[in-house]
Amino acid sequence: MISAILKTCATATAVVGVLGALQSTPAASAFASATYASVGANTSVPWGWVDFCARYAGECDKGPAQPADVNLTQQAIRDIARVNQWVNGHVEPETDMEHWGLADRWDYPIDGKGDCEDYALLKRKMLIELGYPRQAVLMTVVKDGDEEGHAVLTVKTNKGEYVLDNLNDEMRPWTATGYHFVKRQSQQDQNVWVMIGAPQQARL
């Protein structure tokens, strides 16, 4: 099923089909309010993203674009939450060393196995297929409580920023994750990465 979604001919219809069996999600009012991360200067691009782009050139050759946020309607919340739950439930966690014999490799979990960045890449693709702007679904590098590197997907909305994480089925405000946020893709250019700083208040 995952391989079908990843075919170049994949459409929003295919994504909607695989998500249809999931239970409905809470209404927009049930979600915690979120803030915006303060982004700083350009920083180093993760090698995993560079290598991913070398193998999936068509995924990374889009040029710079105007920033765009997800309009956080009730439908958007349902879509985002269902994508997070579906991917978390259909991908088996496996380290890059176990999977590929490599210390670090970013890839789509075509065989149903992957680690944190692979979950995030698939969620990103599915949300883009559903029509959400590429500029609003951002690969993000964080550190956990043990200062270990981890990857999540940030969804930037008109109500703040939320995180989709392979370790949690909930769509959570970025400040509620307990992570130290290090860097993420720029909204203007997916091949440029920016540092992340302190929270900023979400627009009303």
Tell me, what amino acid is at 66?
Q
The verdict on pTM exceeding 0.85 is yes
* pLDDT value at residue 10: 54
Residue 111 pLDDT greater than 80, yes or no: yes
Structure letter (DSSP) for residue 70: B
Residue 18 pLDDT greater than 90, yes or no: no
Residue 185 token pair:
């893709």
CA dist 184 → 6, 66, 90, 164, 195 (Å): 23, 17, 25, 14, 7
Q: Of 23 and 154, which is predicted with more confidence?
A: 154
* pLDDT tens-place string over residues 121-179: 999 999 999 999 999 999 999 999 888 999 999 999 999 999 999 999 999 999 999 99
Residue 149 token pair:
């590197």
* pLDDT value at residue 58: 86
Give me the chain's average pLDDT, please: 88
Q: How many CB atoms lie within 10 A of CB 173?
A: 18
* pLDDT value at residue 61: 86
* pLDDT value at residue 7: 58
Contact 182, 195 (CB under 8 A): yes
Residue 30 pLDDT greater than 80, yes or no: no
Average pLDDT over residues 170-192: 96
Q: How confident is the model at residue 15 (pLDDT cuts 50, 70, 90)?
A: low
Contact 45, 192 (CB under 8 A): yes
Closest by alpha carbon to 48, among 183, 197, 144?
A: 183
* pLDDT value at residue 24: 54
Q: What is the spatial distance between Cα 17 and Cα 15, in angstroms, rounded to a whole number?
A: 5
Q: What is the spatial distance between Cα 170 and Cα 166, in angstroms, rounded to a whole number?
A: 10
* pLDDT value at residue 65: 92
| Domains defined for the chain, CATH in brackets | 34-200 (3.10.620.30)
